[in-house]
């Protein structure tokens, strides 16, 4: 499940691409590209909790950091979707493709059987500052029958090129 690391940088680069423009535009997150490595998980149900994001991402205006302690909301550059819902749907799609597994569902589980694996991501920072894009997150994978957990911190900082 550490392949989740692949989607977080893609979200950072694709989600914030163009967010510094001054035109009145709506932005949505792009889909992650398909990986050449695919794993088969037959008869496994994967549950994806709704991705949590910082409060400034719940607004439709795109946030840009002016300093380490101050953000500005760009009123003329708006997200075209709720980021927590959009990120969750893209993670579900990514996992379905990565594991050739259609049994990947959003929480609350709308299936008769409980999932075998639960995936959760908490994004703590997702913002552009100057020419950098920052994405910091925590992710956790839980095998629900054994309660075995694997959790990691994730940091991705990249130079933003226009």
The domains of the chain are located at 4-159
pTM: 0.75
Q: Which CATH architecture fits 4-159?
A: 3-Layer(aba) Sandwich (3.40)
- Choose the weakest-confidence range: 72-81, 93-102, 104-113, 145-154: 104-113
Alpha-carbon distance of 53 to 35, in angstroms, equals: 25
Cα–Cα distances in Å, from 153 out to 73, 78, 104, 110? 27, 28, 23, 29
Phi, psi of 6 (to 5 degrees): -70, -40
Alpha-carbon distance of 37 to 98, in angstroms, equals: 7
With 80 as the cut, is the pLDDT of residue 60 above it? yes
Q: Work out whether the CA dihedral 80, 83, 84, 89 comes out positive or negative.
A: positive
Task: Tell me what the mean pLDDT of segment 13-24 comes to.
Answer: 49
More confident residue, 42 or 131: 131
| pLDDT value of position 13 | 45
């Amino acid at each position: 499940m550490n392949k989740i690391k692949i989607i977080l940088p893609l979200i950072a680069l694709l989600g914030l691409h163009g967010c510094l423009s001054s035109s009145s535009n709506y932005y949505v997150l792009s889909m992650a590209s398909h990986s050449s490595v695919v794993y088969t998980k037959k008869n496994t149900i994967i549950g994806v909790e709704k991705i949590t994001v910082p409060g400034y991402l719940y607004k439709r205006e795109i946030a840009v950091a002016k300093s380490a302690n101050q953000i500005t909301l760009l009123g003329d550059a708006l997200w075209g979707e709720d980021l927590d819902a959009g990120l969750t749907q893209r993670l579900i799609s990514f996992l379905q493709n990565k594991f050739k597994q259609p049994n990947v569902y959003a929480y609350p589980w709308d299936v008769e059987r409980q999932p075998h694996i639960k995936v959760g991501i908490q994004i703590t920072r997702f913002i552009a500052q100057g020419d950098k894009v920052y994405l910091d997150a925590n992710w956790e994978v839980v095998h629900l029958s054994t309660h075995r957990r694997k959790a990691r911190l994730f940091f991705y900082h990249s130079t933003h090129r226009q």
